[in-house]
Amino acid sequence: MKNIWLKNKLLIIITIYALIFGVAVYFVVFFLIDKIKYISEQVQKNLIDQQIEEARLSNLPQMEKDWQDYETQKNSIEVILSSGSEISFIESIDSIAQKSGNIIDLKIGDQVDPKEIAKIKNDAKKNKGQKGLMEEIAYDNYFPMQISLRGNYQSLIDFIHLLENSHFYVNIISIDSKKIILEDNSAKNKTNVFSPDKAQEEEKKQEIILSAINALVYTQRQ
């Protein structure tokens, strides 16, 4: 028995060391595999997070555009004339006329029948052979308004500028203007033709611009 032990001692020792080494290698390999798996999961997670971030960044321009569209629609809703705000609207137009130095007269019609508007759109398209102003109207409910102004060219320009930049949604369709000359008849009767005051009499002549502005005022749907 002793001889057998001595003969196989080296083999037994090698076998024991091999088993110990095998167990150690197994645990080391298992640990490394688990570590590699964890690192792989973290890398995959980081890649997914990066893809999500890139997708979010790529959507920012569209999100910004959508927000701008929302703000535009929100502002449009606020500036469209609503029921009960007619007095405020008229006061606003009068105020614009005063600020621009005009005498104003308003004529406001009833809301336009949608069927009539459809006819106007078709006629405008046939006459011009292209998309006309009526084709660009965004709302179905609006009424016509005629603004008669009395002032000068500069006051007319100022009025249009203030009207287009007011908080109400008004679309100017056409402008018709004519010039008239007003004279001071009392001064004319008292002044001699050969008088040196003839130049002063000419200065007393006043140039007036009479303008008729046709516009559409948009209203909220009922």
Give me 95's structure tokens. Answer: 């105020």
Task: Give the H/E segment covering residue 94.
Answer: helix 86-100
Which has the closest alpha carbon to 184: 203, 200, 204, 202?
204
Give me the DSSP letters along 29-82.
Answer: HHHHHHHHHHHHHHHHHHHHHHHHHHHHHHHHHHHHHHHHHHHHHHHHHHHSB-
Q: Does one domain contain both 73 and 174?
A: no
Q: Does one domain contain both 69 and 91?
A: no
91 pLDDT band (50/70/90 cuts)? Answer: confident
Residue 112 maps to which CATH number?
3.30.70.60
pLDDT digits (tens, 9 = 90+) for 165-201: 887 778 788 888 888 887 665 545 555 545 555 555 5
Give me 121's structure tokens. Answer: 């759109």
Q: Which residue has the higher pLDDT, 135 or 50?
A: 50
Please report the pLDDT score of residue 181 as a whole number. 82
Q: Which residue has the higher pLDDT, 62 or 190?
A: 62
Backbone CA torsion sign across 118, 124, 129, 135: negative
Number of continuous H segments (helices) and E segments (strands) in the chain:
6, 4
Please report the pLDDT score of residue 157 as a whole number. 92
Containing domain of residue 196, as a range? 86-218
Q: Does one domain contain both 62 and 142?
A: no
- The domain total for the chain is 2
Please report the pLDDT score of residue 210 as a whole number. 92
pTM, rounded to two decimals: 0.47
